[in-house]
Amino acid sequence: MSYVEKVFQSIAVGDGVSWTKTITESDVYLFAGITGDLGPNHVNEEYMKGTEYGKRIAQGVLVLGLSSATVWMFATKFDVTGASLGYDKVRFIKPVMLGDTVTIDYRAAEFDHARARIVSDVSGRNQRGDVVLSARHILKVIPDRNAA
């Protein structure tokens, strides 16, 4: 049996991981510095007081970036040597405010045996249980040269 076949046999639809993190001001500013996304909705509290949100919100891509941790956790848990092929159907459902605690849930949803891919559902919820993020992730299973 090949390495890829062993991987697919070890994972069932619904298997996955979750990870929780509180979004801090440092997270938002560090992400802004790395990406250049210094929009006032992220870094200007006074500006945001005059909007429907009333305060600063985290960058959507920062919240999506939290799912990278769950991809790594999933690969580690199920002993998958893989590479991310990206995200589809990414939606930022609700804003994430500084101080919100977000839980990212990553669950296997489909298997593409012919192309050695695992497609997983990704969702993010805040501390109130509101869905803030929805996406699909594609993980390419790479045959491990060291696997028997």
pLDDT grade, residue 3 (50/70/90)? confident
pLDDT 10s digits, 121-142? 999 999 999 999 999 999 999 9
Structure tokens that stand for 37 in this block: 């996304």
Strand partners, 141: 82
Burial of 65 (0-12, 13-18, 19+ CB in 10 A): middle
Please report the pLDDT score of residue 12 as a whole number. 96
3-class state of residue 134 by DSSP: strand
Amino acid at 91: R
Domains of the chain: 3-23+59-141 (3.10.129.10)
pTM: 0.90
In this prediction, residues 65-85 reach a mean pLDDT of: 95
Indicate whether 102 pLDDT > 70: yes
DSSP string across 62-95: HHHHHHHHHHHHHHHHTT--EEEEEEEEEEE-S-
In this prediction, residues 46-58 reach a mean pLDDT of: 96
Strand partners, 87: 137
Please report the pLDDT score of residue 145 as a whole number. 64
Structure tokens that stand for 48 in this block: 């945001």
In this prediction, residues 29-40 reach a mean pLDDT of: 95
pLDDT grade, residue 4 (50/70/90)? confident
Indicate whether 84 pLDDT > 60: yes
Indicate whether 25 pLDDT > 70: yes
Give the rounded percent of residues in the chain with a pLDDT score beyond 70: 97
In this prediction, residues 76-101 reach a mean pLDDT of: 96
